[in-house]
């Protein structure tokens, strides 16, 4: 009998997050201070993030316990299902066995609440009144809006202007959960005002929205900043995805040859692959491939530099060594707003530099074609970000058809696209365009990276 999905019981939800840092060949180098560019002390991060998260960011512990209060909220939708894409395999006429972890079952509709709930919990523990944050497509903002209300905290969201207009229902969702949402750049912060002075028509960027959120947090008593991707503690919280998937793949009697996921800042995919890539680091699965899929509009892994850069446009956040297309780069207004971040999780960058993971980039039209192929076979209408993972999976499945190999492909289906139907509509009307980032624009943005002094012995 065909089995379509693999489900875990509530008590099989992971009790600990997996921290990859002690297992990495080259752990990411430490952050630098945004002004002095010297080594950043943990105290420098204290005005920005709650203390337990700063400790997790640098923790040498391999396993970190998930507080019961966090697990209780996560249990509203976790463990999430793992599907075998039986109908899509048939439609593609491929001998590949395709599995996907479906994170669209959370109330906000993506993987993002996995860390939002944890961050809200630690924020409350510290006695905070509220969190300020940025959001691109609105998935992260809605996740934090959802999470903060469980812990009686306020939430202020700076939403990238282009997405604010493209996705009004995401704003309504955040407001329903009690958050205050403004388009970014806004006139509420110095960072926002200075950008608007130069370009009042700007579509905004995640880098600018991050600057505004950090400024808001550090200038309001009892507020801190919450980040939905990129940093180590977010990758850590997302490992519930991969830890569940490992159990579910075992139930299916398979192990992935290829892991696929879309990457904006890297959190959904790292969440899935870190608990598997551990087997590649220790040499037990040397041939497993891990494909990070980004947008050609913001190709940090495939065309950016692996160098120190500011995490935000106004240069107020930590300076991290990461693949970057430049902190003040404003990507083309693709519908996959969550893939418009200029940098990438330092953990992923270091794993790529050491040759453990690889990257690919796709354009808007081809990812939407893959999303349609998937929707018609499997039913789920995915977010445009997620569609990037579908396109890479599609290509690998077709390669299997041509070679006759029956590889096992597992991808992270990071979120549904129910608030992204404008992208689908534009595709149906032939109004969607591809964007190719010019070499000139890229080089101009890369010329502004900081010159970071070597560490003093």
Write out the residues near ligand PLP by the rule CB under 6 A: 110, 136-137, 139-140, 229, 262-268, 338-339, 383, 385-386, 414-415
Instruction: Give the whole-angstrom CA distance, residue 283 versus residue 278.
Output: 9
- Residue nearer to ligand PLP on the CB measure, 339 or 408: 339
Instruction: Give the whole-angstrom CA distance, residue 324 versus residue 326.
Output: 5
In angstroms, what is the minimal distance from the CB of 444 to ligand PLP?
Answer: 25
In angstroms, what is the minimal distance from the CB of 103 to ligand PLP?
Answer: 8
Partners of 309 in the β-ladder: 320
- Residue nearer to ligand PLP on the CB measure, 92 or 263: 263
Cβ-closest position to ligand PLP:
338
In angstroms, what is the minimal distance from the CB of 143 to ligand PLP?
Answer: 9
In angstroms, what is the minimal distance from the CB of 342 to ligand PLP?
Answer: 13
Contact between residue 99 and residue 408 where contact means Cβ atoms under 8 Å apart: yes
- Residue nearer to ligand PLP on the CB measure, 184 or 267: 267
In angstroms, what is the minimal distance from the CB of 209 to ligand PLP?
Answer: 12
- Residue nearer to ligand PLP on the CB measure, 265 or 318: 265
- Residue nearer to ligand PLP on the CB measure, 97 or 112: 112
The answer for residues whose C-beta is within 8 angstroms of residue 354's C-beta and 6 or more apart is 24, 25, 26
Contact between residue 256 and residue 410 where contact means Cβ atoms under 8 Å apart: yes
- Residue nearer to ligand PLP on the CB measure, 162 or 262: 262
Instruction: Give the whole-angstrom CA distance, residue 161 versus residue 207.
Output: 12
With H, G, I as helix, E, B as strand and everything else as coil, classify residue 133: strand
- Residue nearer to ligand PLP on the CB measure, 139 or 166: 139
In angstroms, what is the minimal distance from the CB of 338 to ligand PLP?
Answer: 2
Contact between residue 42 and residue 54 where contact means Cβ atoms under 8 Å apart: yes
User: Which H, E and C letters describe 375-413, residue by residue?
Assistant: HHHHCCCECHHHHHHHHHHHHHHHHHHHHCCCCEEEEEE
Instruction: Give the whole-angstrom CA distance, residue 369 versus residue 200.
Output: 34
- Residue nearer to ligand PLP on the CB measure, 209 or 288: 209
- Residue nearer to ligand PLP on the CB measure, 363 or 386: 386
Contact between residue 13 and residue 244 where contact means Cβ atoms under 8 Å apart: yes
Taking only Cα atoms into account, the Rg of the chain, rounded to an integer number of angstroms, comes to 20
Instruction: Give the whole-angstrom CA distance, residue 45 versus residue 40.
Output: 8
Cα torsion 443, 447, 451, 452: sign: negative
In angstroms, what is the minimal distance from the CB of 336 to ligand PLP?
Answer: 8
Q: What is the dihedral of CA 126, 130, 131, 135, to 10 degrees?
A: 160
In angstroms, what is the minimal distance from the CB of 148 to ligand PLP?
Answer: 17
Cα→Cα distances 37→26, 28, 230, 404, Å: 21, 16, 19, 52
In angstroms, what is the minimal distance from the CB of 298 to ligand PLP?
Answer: 11
In angstroms, what is the minimal distance from the CB of 302 to ligand PLP?
Answer: 15
283: left (phi over 0), alpha (psi -120 to 50) or beta: left
> In the 8-state DSSP scheme, what is residue 333?
-
Q: In degrees, to the nearest 5, what angle opens at C-alpha 169 toward C-alphas 381 and 222?
A: 115
Spatial CA neighbour of 296 closest among 433, 177, 188: 433
- Residue nearer to ligand PLP on the CB measure, 32 or 112: 112
Instruction: Give the whole-angstrom CA distance, residue 308 versus residue 347.
Output: 14
In angstroms, what is the minimal distance from the CB of 394 to ligand PLP?
Answer: 17
Number of Cβ within a 10 Å radius of residue 356: 19
- Residue nearer to ligand PLP on the CB measure, 94 or 163: 163
């Amino acid at each position: 009998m065909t089995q379509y999905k693999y489900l875990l019981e509530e008590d099989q939800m992971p009790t600990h997050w997996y921290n990859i840092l002690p297992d990495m060949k080259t752990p990411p180098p430490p952050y630098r201070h945004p002004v002095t560019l010297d080594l950043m002390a943990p105290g420098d991060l204290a005005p920005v993030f709650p203390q337990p998260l700063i400790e997790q960011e640098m923790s040498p512990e391999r396993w970190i316990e998930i507080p019961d209060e966090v697990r209780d909220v996560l249990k509203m939708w976790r463990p999430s299902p793992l599907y075998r894409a039986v109908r899509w395999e048939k439609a593609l006429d491929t001998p590949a066995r395709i599995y996907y972890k479906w994170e669209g079952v959370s109330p906000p509709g993506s993987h993002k609440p996995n860390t939002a709930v944890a961050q809200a919990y630690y924020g409350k523990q510290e006695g905070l009144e509220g969190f300020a944050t940025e959001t691109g497509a609105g998935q992260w903002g809605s996740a934090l809006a959802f999470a903060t209300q469980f812990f009686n905290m306020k939430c202020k969201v700076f939403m990238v202007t282009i997405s604010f207009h493209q996705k009004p229902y995401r704003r309504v969702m955040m407001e329903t959960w009690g958050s205050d949402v403004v388009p970014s750049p806004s006139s509420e912060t110095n960072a926002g005002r200075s950008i608007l002075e130069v370009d009042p028509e700007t579509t905004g960027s995640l880098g600018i929205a991050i600057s505004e959120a950090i400024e808001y947090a550090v200038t309001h008593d009892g507020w801190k900043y919450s980040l939905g991707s990129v940093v180590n503690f977010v990758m850590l919280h997302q490992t519930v995805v991969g830890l569940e998937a490992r159990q579910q793949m075992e139930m299916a009697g398979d192990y992935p040859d290829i892991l696929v996921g879309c990457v904006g800042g890297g959190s959904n995919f790292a969440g899935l692959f870190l608990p598997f890539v551990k087997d590649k680091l220790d040499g037990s699965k040397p041939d497993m491939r891990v494909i990070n899929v980004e947008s050609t509009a913001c190709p940090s892994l495939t065309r950016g530099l692996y160098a120190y850069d500011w995490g935000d446009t106004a240069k107020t956040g930590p300076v991290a060594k990461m693949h970057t297309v430049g902190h003040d780069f404003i990507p083309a207004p693709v519908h996959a707003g969550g893939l418009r971040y200029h940098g990438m999780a330092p953990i992923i960058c270091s794993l790529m530099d050491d040759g453990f993971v690889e990257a690919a980039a796709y354009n808007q039209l081809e990812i939407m074609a893959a999303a349609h192929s998937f929707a018609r076979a499997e039913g789920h209408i995915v977010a445009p970000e997620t569609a990037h993972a579908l396109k890479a999976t599609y290509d690998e499945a077709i390669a299997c058809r041509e070679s006759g190999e029956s590889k096992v492909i597992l991808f992270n289906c990071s979120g549904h696209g129910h608030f992204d139907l404008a992208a689908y509509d534009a595709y149906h009307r032939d109004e969607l365009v591809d964007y190719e980032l010019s070499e000139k624009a890229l080089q101009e943005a890369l010329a502004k990276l900081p010159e970071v002094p070597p560490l003093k012995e």
